[in-house]
Amino acid sequence: MVKKIQILIIGHNTNGCTDEHSKVAYETGSEVAKSGHVLVTGGLGGVMQAASHGAHDSNGLTVGIIPQDDASKANEFCDIVIPTGMGLTRDFINALSADGVIIIGGGSGTLSEICAAYMNKKPMVALRNMGGVTAQYIDNYLDHRENIKIIGVDTPKEAVDKILELITA
């Protein structure tokens, strides 16, 4: 059996997540499911919940890696819940569990996951025009090491197609 590709979607939690973020996250999660791969999120609200909802509605497999030690804290669209009990340290587990990362806006928690993915040279794409901390890094590197460029894309379908291209390159 061949391992399924695991795609992490990150972005705004409940605070800061607009209707547009939710719509884009839902569509992106749906595209991950349609591609036959596994959606991984931080398992909570906002972009994480919307992406999980989209994947769930498209019959995909969803994994939520949550910071709490109680699985009931995960959103209702997570098929598999991994309660870490690690607080924000779980951001590193999220990044290391992914074969590639799709970014939809986000704040400091998202930036933490981006940094963990960057240091581990995980392919990343970011949806343009979603604001948040990510906007300044689209089509750029985080620092002088130039580990991995965060590639900008315009649509959820393009995000999934591009991340799969980068993962399998």
CATH number for position 102: 3.40.50.450
Would the pTM of this model clear 0.85, i.e. be above it? yes
**What pLDDT tens digit does each residue of the chain (169 aa) get?**
788 999 999 999 998 999 999 999 999 999 999 999 999 999 999 999 999 999 999 999 999 999 999 999 999 999 999 999 999 999 999 999 999 999 999 999 999 999 999 999 999 999 999 999 989 999 999 999 999 999 999 999 999 999 999 999 8
| Domain carrying residue 132 | 6-168
Number of domains present in the structure of the chain: 1
1 within domain boundaries: no
Domain membership flag for residue 43: yes
Q: Contacts for 83-90 with beta carbons within 8 Å, 24 or more apart?
A: 88/112, 90/42, 90/65, 90/66
In a domain, 130, yes or no: yes
In a domain, 144, yes or no: yes
Residue 34 lies in a domain: yes
**Which residue bears the tokens 């409940």?**
14
Q: Strand runs (DSSP E) across the chain, as ranges?
A: 6-11, 38-41, 62-66, 80-83, 100-104, 124-127, 150-153
The reply to whether 162 falls in a domain is yes
Q: Is residue 102 in some structural domain?
A: yes
Output phi, psi for 127, to 5 deg. -75, 125
Distance CA 132, CA 12 (A): 8
Tokens of 64: 């939520």
Specify if 70 maps to a domain. yes
